[in-house]
Amino acid sequence: MERFFLYDDVEDTKTRFVSFTGKRLRYDLAIMQSNRFFGKVLVLDMQFNRFAIIGTDDLEEPGYLEHVFNRTEEEAEDLREYLIELLA
């Protein structure tokens, strides 16, 4: 079988590892910046094995973080506050 690639690129990224405690949970994140994401960042939740490409517009979307990271509204609020500071 012949493999058909849509793309196969190598790109340098800037990755930040951060761990912090919120009001309810501890967060262990890897945050990757790349030209591929059009100004957004790839946020990897290393504790719960979930990830999302996030920009400031996504943080304003009601329920977005709760959905992609499978968190309650209260749990997602700590993450939202941190990401708003990071992306500002």
On the 0-12 / 13-18 / 19+ scale of CB atoms within 10 A, 9 is exposed
Domain range for 73: 14-87
The gap between the terminal CA atoms of the chain, to the nearest Å, is: 47
Q: Which residue has the tokens 């992306």?
A: 87
40 within a domain of the structure (yes/no): yes
6 within a domain of the structure (yes/no): no
Cβ(34)–Cβ(13) under 8 Å? yes
pLDDT tens digits for 24-79?
899 999 999 999 988 899 999 999 999 999 999 999 999 999 999 999 999 999 99
Tell me if the pTM is above 0.85: yes
Count of structural domains, the chain: 1
68 within a domain of the structure (yes/no): yes
3 within a domain of the structure (yes/no): no
9 within a domain of the structure (yes/no): no
61 within a domain of the structure (yes/no): yes
Whether the pLDDT of residue 88 is over 90: the answer is no
47 within a domain of the structure (yes/no): yes
39 within a domain of the structure (yes/no): yes
Residue type, position 10, single letter: V
